[in-house]
Structure 1
Amino acid sequence: MAAFARLLECLLWSARKEQEAEEEEEEGRRTHDGPRSLLDAPRCFQRPHGGAAASWGLRFGASAVQGWRAHMEDAHCAWLALPGLPPGWAFFAVLDGHGGARAALFGARHLPGHVFEALGTAPDEPEGVRGALRRAFLNADARLRALWPRGEPGGSTAVALLVSPRFLYLAHCGDSRAMLSRAGAVAFSTEDHRPLRPRERERIHNAGGTIRRRRLEGSLAVSRALGDFAYKEAPGRPPELQLVSAEPEVTALARQAEDEFMLLASDGVWDAMSGAALARLVASRLCLGLAPELLCAQLLDTCLCKGSLDNMTCVLVCFPGAPRPCEEAIRKELALDAALGRRVSELYSSAQEPPSLNTVFRTLASEDIPDLPPGGGLYCKVAVIAEAYSRLCQASGGRWQKGPNGARKPTGTHSNSSLDLEA
């Protein structure tokens, strides 16, 4: 994984980046501050981390990556034990800032405290907990408003998971999303808060707002968020009825033995892969015995390779019913990695001149390769391909390319390569 990150930082995916940036601008996918700038190369560094509550069978992993964005505006938090509550309660959240990271960082640091305060020491389930989560989000937003520099833009979406021994509670506002896998299938997924959703549109119009280009006032893509106080000024209306509301949509799901895992992620992940594809990929990696935090890092790398241009954060919470390591799955994965390494070597050695990494990937993508990871496909194996390619380049002492005058000249391993993963 580390080798993959180092390789990606050296690759200039300029053609892909320019194409995606043009499409993004045409579609109006911008914050209210204007189009978000992109870097010349993605920032791929991750700090995956995780933990476990072995006594009641809960494990989690989390990771985040800046990607192509000029600034990192995501944040997240994880609590395996809640103050004043017995074992079996836990809290996780992912926040995706826009117009800066301030609101997301505030939410990651202070939303848990508001949740704990609203829950108390003996919360009534499920309705009392649902109400507590609503109050916690609104109270956190009120506190953020008191601290917010007047007139400054910015806000954050949020999705939170509260685990109790009996229920899974999801609270979200905006387009950060959560998905539950149960018995090998997607059992539940949150729905993004967009201005054109009927309930959202009604609230916006009643507060005197307009929707243009599918956006609130032609600018904001989400209709619920922490912050965004310029959209919370409608006179005589409570916080939950403003143009933008911080009131979360709260769902209580009774826990079942078949519950496998819950994935929380910012929209950069969901833009690259569908919920069904993510569920298949996560389940297949758990069958390999991959730790949840390393699985999160691999998932973000896969989304980056599939073309996500946004910051990305994911938190994976595994329940006792999660897929267990399978010897047959591990054997097939090792065989796949070995076969890919051999095929990269064949392509490299059979060419008159060493092929670019982009050419190698395109060739592999055109071939029928069995046992690729479900949901992720060849994109999930870019690390294996890149590492095999790097070893061959190092062994051959560097690549050769033709210069402008037709002469062959040595170059660095990846100095001019462009890995276009739209193969």
Structure 2
Amino acid sequence: MRTARKGSVEMPAFVRQLVKETEKRVSSLFKGSRGGATDGEQPGEEEREEMMPSPYLDRPVLDKLAEEGSARWGLTYALGSMQGWRANMEDFHNCVPQLGGELTDWSFFAVFDGHAGSTVAEHCSQHLLSHILGTGGIEAEDDPEKVRGAIIEGFLQTDKQLHSVARREGWERGGTTVVSTLISPYYIYFANCGDSRAMLCRSGQVCFSTEDHKPYSPLEKERIESAGGSVTFQRINGSLAVSRALGDFNYKGAENRTPSQQMVSPEPEVCVVARSPADEFLVLACDGVWDTISNEELCAFIHNRLCVCTDLRDVCTQVIDLCLYKGSLDNISIILLCFPGAPQLSAEALHQEAELEDLLESKVAEIYDELCARGEEPDLLSVLTVLASTVIPGLPPGGGIQSKRNCIISAYYQQRETHKPTSPNGLGES
């Protein structure tokens, strides 16, 4: 584990204002049902704040959790996770490169994205795998249909056990999405429950990705309405933004309906993909990643980064920073799994990367000098704005100028140091 350095990102004023105004509108809309002001009255600012505290911070938490490991059959992996703009960290994960026993060549990885608190996500991260294995359907001689059934049953058993704990501990409001993968010597099993996502890249292209479970998707909406719910503002009953999750028992009370037929279903969508020597890497990530970058962009970006970086933790960190700079306001978690066929370090790619960073440093110096010559204050935002409108060849595919922002920031502060006024004794300012 390690912690990356803190940065100096600040939430744009218009975003803060948008969040604030949205909170006011939603508070006003639901004030009657939430015990606020009576009809015809306008709740005061303090009451609105109390009714709906902001889910965002004034400044993001940029400390990163990073882990790495490997399996004896040739898999290497890394995890990167960051709280970001969210008031709380609600993501958890599982990284089990070898299951042990007869399943020593099997691996399991999962990302849990909690909502309405982190308790359910943490609990499920500790128990889901044991429930899947406890079904007895995972055997060394794997039968895809049998394994698929075991995974589904493991999710349902986890939700059932969680329900009894939730009633005892008062967790009814909490829930978590899950995206996971179980890798055998012959197959990759993807299990998705919610709007986190898995993606497999093969021969430099997106080979497979899971489908997000959103309330407005036709089949999900049909189930929600059949269970007595509605889809308003693209959310279940105007509130919950995902249609499948573990927990969220306030949405699972419809009588005479199975768990999979409730407004929020705990049943994962399980897909099986045969392994190939052309498999390069697999990504599991929460929606804090996918809200800002497409499957194709992330595949291209990671493929490029693997050619210039041997530390998978650094690749995960670069993805997290890219999503932050592209506007993600959520917790950000990513697990990167590399197969033996993953891109390797390339001398040509390293040379191109060095040339790109030299070019960016010279561009920053150029812009800094131009702004000084005009008598303008060469602050970082001004430099970034000019640079963003400049054609820069050789930027990482899928990442663009945002993916080199740390390099640009470093070059900017070098210019500030170079241009620092000197004192009469020639020693410079203290």
Check if 1:18 corresponds to 2:35.
no
Check if 1:376 corresponds to 2:399.
yes
The farther-off stretch of 385-394 and 320-329 is 385-394
CA separation of 1:23 and 1:190: change in aligned 2, threshold 3 A: farther
Amino acid at match of 2:115: H
Deviations, residues 38-80 of structure 1 (Å, cap 9, x unaligned): 1111111102111112x42211111111111111111111001
What is the aligned counterpart of 1:185 among 183, 205, 217? 205
Deviations, residues 220-246 of structure 1 (Å, cap 9, x unaligned): 111100100011111122211111111
Q: Does the Cα contact within 8 Å between 1:36 and 1:69 map onto a contact in 2?
A: no
Q: Does the Cα contact within 8 Å between 1:3 and 1:387 map onto a contact in 2?
A: no
Amino acid at match of 2:165: L
Q: Please list, as runs of the form range in 1=range in 2, the aligned pairs for 1:57-76 lying within 5 A after superposition.
A: 57-76=74-93
Q: How many angstroms does 1:36 deviate by?
A: 4.7
CA distance in structure 2 between the aligned counterparts of 1:169 and 1:272, rounded to whole angstroms: 26
Q: In structure 2, what is the equivalent of residue 211 of structure 1? A: 231
CA distance in structure 2 between the aligned counterparts of 1:151 and 1:101, rounded to whole angstroms: 10
Look up the SS of the partner of 1:280 in the other structure.
helix
CA distance in structure 1 between the aligned counterparts of 2:131 and 2:73, rounded to whole angstroms: 25
Q: TM-score, normalised by structure 1?
A: 0.87
Q: How many angstroms does 1:172 deviate by?
A: 0.8
Check if 1:389 corresponds to 2:409.
no
Q: Please list, as runs of the form range in 1=range in 2, the aligned pairs for 1:182-261 lying within 5 A after superposition.
A: 182-261=202-281
Q: In structure 1, what is the equivalent of residue 66 of structure 2? A: 48
Amino acid at match of 2:329: L
CA distance in structure 2 between the aligned counterparts of 1:172 and 1:94, rounded to whole angstroms: 10
Check if 1:285 corresponds to 2:301.
no
Look up the SS of the partner of 1:91 in the other structure.
strand
Q: How many angstroms does 1:312 deviate by?
A: 0.8
Q: How many angstroms does 1:182 deviate by?
A: 1.1
More relative contact order in 1 or in 2 (CA 8 Å, sep 6+)? 1
CA distance in structure 2 between the aligned counterparts of 1:19 and 1:286, rounded to whole angstroms: 39
Q: In structure 2, what is the equivalent of residue 305 of structure 1? A: 325
Amino acid at match of 2:252: K
Structure 2 runs not aligned, ≥5 long: 27-33, 35-50, 423-428
CA distance in structure 1 between the aligned counterparts of 2:18 and 2:179, rounded to whole angstroms: 27
Q: How many angstroms does 1:5 deviate by?
A: 4.2
CA distance in structure 2 between the aligned counterparts of 1:40 and 1:392, rounded to whole angstroms: 28
Aligned residue-pair number:
394
Q: Please list, as runs of the form range in 1=range in 2, the aligned pairs for 1:139-178 lying within 5 A after superposition.
A: 139-148=157-166, 149-150=169-170, 152-178=172-198
CA distance in structure 2 between the aligned counterparts of 1:230 and 1:122, rounded to whole angstroms: 39
Which one has a bigger Cα radius of gyration?
Answer: 2
Q: Does the Cα contact within 8 Å between 2:231 and 2:238 map onto a contact in 1?
A: yes
Q: In structure 2, what is the equivalent of residue 418 of structure 1? A: none
Check if 1:7 corresponds to 2:25.
no
Identity of aligned residues (%): 44
Look up the SS of the partner of 1:66 in the other structure.
strand
Q: How many angstroms does 1:345 deviate by?
A: 2.1
CA separation of 1:194 and 1:321: change in aligned 2, threshold 3 A: same
Deviations, residues 94-145 of structure 1 (Å, cap 9, x unaligned): 1111100111111222112222223444464201110110011111111211
Q: How many angstroms does 1:336 deviate by?
A: 0.7
CA distance in structure 2 between the aligned counterparts of 1:27 and 1:332, rounded to whole angstroms: 50
Measured on the aligned residues, the alpha-carbon RMSD in Å equals: 2.6
Look up the SS of the partner of 2:103 in the other structure.
coil
Q: Does the Cα contact within 8 Å between 1:12 and 1:40 map onto a contact in 2?
A: yes
Check if 1:134 corresponds to 2:119.
no
Q: Please list, as runs of the form range in 1=range in 2, the aligned pairs for 1:328-367 lying within 5 A after superposition.
A: 328-350=348-370, 351=372, 352-367=375-390
What is the aligned counterpart of 1:77 among 94, 97, 103? 94
CA distance in structure 1 between the aligned counterparts of 2:212 and 2:285, rounded to whole angstroms: 12
Amino acid at match of 1:224: R
Q: How many angstroms does 1:207 deviate by?
A: 1.7
The farther-off stretch of 176-185 and 78-87 is 78-87
CA distance in structure 2 between the aligned counterparts of 1:398 and 1:24, rounded to whole angstroms: 45
Q: TM-score, normalised by structure 2?
A: 0.85
CA distance in structure 1 between the aligned counterparts of 2:208 and 2:382, rounded to whole angstroms: 40
Q: In structure 2, what is the equivalent of residue 408 of structure 1? A: none
CA separation of 1:376 and 1:37: change in aligned 2, threshold 3 A: same
Check if 1:319 corresponds to 2:331.
no
Deviations, residues 338-361 of structure 1 (Å, cap 9, x unaligned): 111122122223413551111111
Q: Does the Cα contact within 8 Å between 1:168 and 1:255 map onto a contact in 2?
A: yes
Look up the SS of the partner of 2:333 in the other structure.
strand
CA distance in structure 1 between the aligned counterparts of 2:421 and 2:304, rounded to whole angstroms: 36
Q: Does the Cα contact within 8 Å between 2:120 and 2:171 map onto a contact in 1?
A: no
Deviations, residues 173-207 of structure 1 (Å, cap 9, x unaligned): 11001111111111111111112222222222222
Deviations, residues 234-266 of structure 1 (Å, cap 9, x unaligned): 112221111111110000001111111111110
Q: Does the Cα contact within 8 Å between 1:83 and 1:116 map onto a contact in 2?
A: no
Q: Does the Cα contact within 8 Å between 2:309 and 2:315 map onto a contact in 1?
A: no
CA separation of 1:200 and 1:12: change in aligned 2, threshold 3 A: closer
Look up the SS of the partner of 2:176 in the other structure.
strand
Q: Does the Cα contact within 8 Å between 2:23 and 2:54 map onto a contact in 1?
A: no
